């Protein structure tokens, strides 16, 4: 829906709505067509002038929900129905969630009307957008598309929705209950799959022996998953996971992307592009580890929680950390390695596709992407039509991770 609609249907909507749509149209063309983000930043430059030698950069992987689904966790598309069932179970337990369920149903209809793909990312973005519409209306994103659909239906009101705000809280609790796992069966399967996966990709048998002193290779693993599966693997083999933050003396978390620039042999560098159940965000902008959060919050009344789970959501559409820096690092690592294993990922995130495509455009023919997924061919055809350079670099393999790497899970 663009400005031409408003010019042909002026009597339908008040002037204030025309101004909103005009602003959104302007932002769309400057923000997307020109490739720029707020403050004039783009994803072209890496976050630091520091460089790593090929010896240190290790092996590059991009992991999606298709891998975690092997451990019984829902994919991004499956989360939508799973979350609805979660709310319905709350009703059976005596809790009032009928308004929230009706709100989700209406948002799903609007997402379909705006022709936006329905998954956990788009649905959560709508929760965020309708909880603070004036704040998010200035950015071109899924919430904007849904908002324009409401304008077309003459049902537009630029005001906060308490129900949408409640859904954010419920969604965070759902993510914690679903994706923060310590189950023994899951742990055993995680050790088997990732031990073999890392071994086959690096040629380093040390990953299967659970002895860090014998591991010589490094892994750079980017993932769109919220779960703590990789952290579980590192803990199981007594291997530290390098992330974008440090824990301070007072149990607070400080962002530190320089962690990725310093390594020892046998390091797992983990870059969580969509968020993590392992972090809690407070109102003052600081973070806590999930396992320590409850005790700290109870002992400090001034510690008000903003988000029980770190979910990027609509913040992916602006220049904000940690998402911006993580995407910059993805491009940097890809340009260093020239090769990436993409496993169980659908290529639904356009920011990730754009970053990879841009890297390849600077030196076409030099890049290789080994794409392992049961729907690999269909995903490339459906989701990457706008990225021809990326398509040329991809070698699709129709298989899941367990089958491809010869692992039997129980």
Count CB atoms within 10 A of the CB of residue 260.
Answer: 24
The per-residue pLDDT for 12 is: 41
The per-residue pLDDT for 261 is: 84
Q: Are residues 164 and 201 in the same domain?
A: no
The per-residue pLDDT for 135 is: 67
Of 195, 231, 222, 207, the residue nearest 323 (C-alpha): 222
The per-residue pLDDT for 110 is: 81
Q: Are residues 84 and 155 in the same domain?
A: yes
Residue numbers of the chain with a pLDDT score lower than 50: 1-56
Q: Are residues 208 and 322 in the same domain?
A: yes
Q: Give the Å distances, CA to CA, from 276 to 71, 86, 251, 318.
A: 17, 20, 18, 19
* Continuous segment of H or E residues that includes residue 83: helix 76-92
The per-residue pLDDT for 303 is: 65
Of 366, 368, 362, the residue nearest 391 (C-alpha): 368
Strand-pair category, 279-282 with 287-289: antiparallel
The per-residue pLDDT for 61 is: 97
Q: Are residues 245 and 327 in the same domain?
A: yes
The per-residue pLDDT for 384 is: 94
- 222 strand-pairing partners: 62, 271
Q: Are residues 343 and 211 in the same domain?
A: yes
Q: Are residues 91 and 133 in the same domain?
A: yes
Six-digit token pair at 187? Answer: 């742990």
Q: Are residues 89 and 225 in the same domain?
A: no
The per-residue pLDDT for 31 is: 43
Q: Are residues 374 and 243 in the same domain?
A: yes
Q: Are residues 134 and 191 in the same domain?
A: no
């Amino acid at each position: 829906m663009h400005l031409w609609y408003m010019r042909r249907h002026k009597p339908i909507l008040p002037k204030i709505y025309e101004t909103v749509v005009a602003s959104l149209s302007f932002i769309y063309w400057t923000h997307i067509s020109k490739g720029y983000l707020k403050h004039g930043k783009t994803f072209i430059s890496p976050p630091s002038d520091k460089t790593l030698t090929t010896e240190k950069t290790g092996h590059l992987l991009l992991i999606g929900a298709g891998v975690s689904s092997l451990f019984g966790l829902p994919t991004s598309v499956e989360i939508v129905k799973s979350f609805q069932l979660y709310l319905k179970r709350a009703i059976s337990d005596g809790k009032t969630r009928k308004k929230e369920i009706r709100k989700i149903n209406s948002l799903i209809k609007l997402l379909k009307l705006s022709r936006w793909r329905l998954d956990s990312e788009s649905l959560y973005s709508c929760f965020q957008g309708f909880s603070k519409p004036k704040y998010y209306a200035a950015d071109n994103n899924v919430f904007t598309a849904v908002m324009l659909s409401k304008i077309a239906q003459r049902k537009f009101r630029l005001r906060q929705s308490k129900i949408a705000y409640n859904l954010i809280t419920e969604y965070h609790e759902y993510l914690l209950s679903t994706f923060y796992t310590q189950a023994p069966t899951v742990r055993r399967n995680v050790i088997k799959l990732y031990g073999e996966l890392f071994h086959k990709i690096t040629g380093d048998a040390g990953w299967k022996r659970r002895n860090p002193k014998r591991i010589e290779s490094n892994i750079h693993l980017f993932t769109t998953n919220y779960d703590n599966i990789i952290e579980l693997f590192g803990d199981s083999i007594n291997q530290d996971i390098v992330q974008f933050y440090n824990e301070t003396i007072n149990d607070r978390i400080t962002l530190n992307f320089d962690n990725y620039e310093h390594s020892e042999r046998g390091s797992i560098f983990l870059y969580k592009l969509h968020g993590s159940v392992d972090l809690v965000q407070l109102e003052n902008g600081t973070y806590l580890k999930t396992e320590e959060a409850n005790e700290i919050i109870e002992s400090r009344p001034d510690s008000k929680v903003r988000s029980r789970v770190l979910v990027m959501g609509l913040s992916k559409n602006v220049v904000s950390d940690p998402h911006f820096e993580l995407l910059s690092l993805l491009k940097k690592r890809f340009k260093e390695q020239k090769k990436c294993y993409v496993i169980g990922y659908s290529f639904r995130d356009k920011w990730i596709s754009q970053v990879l495509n841009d890297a390849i455009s600077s030196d076409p023919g030099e890049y290789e992407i080994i794409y392992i997924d049961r729907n690999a061919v269909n995903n490339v055809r459906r989701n990457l039509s706008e990225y021809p350079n990326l398509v040329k670099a991809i070698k699709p393999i129709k298989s899941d991770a367990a089958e491809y790497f010869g692992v039997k899970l129980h």
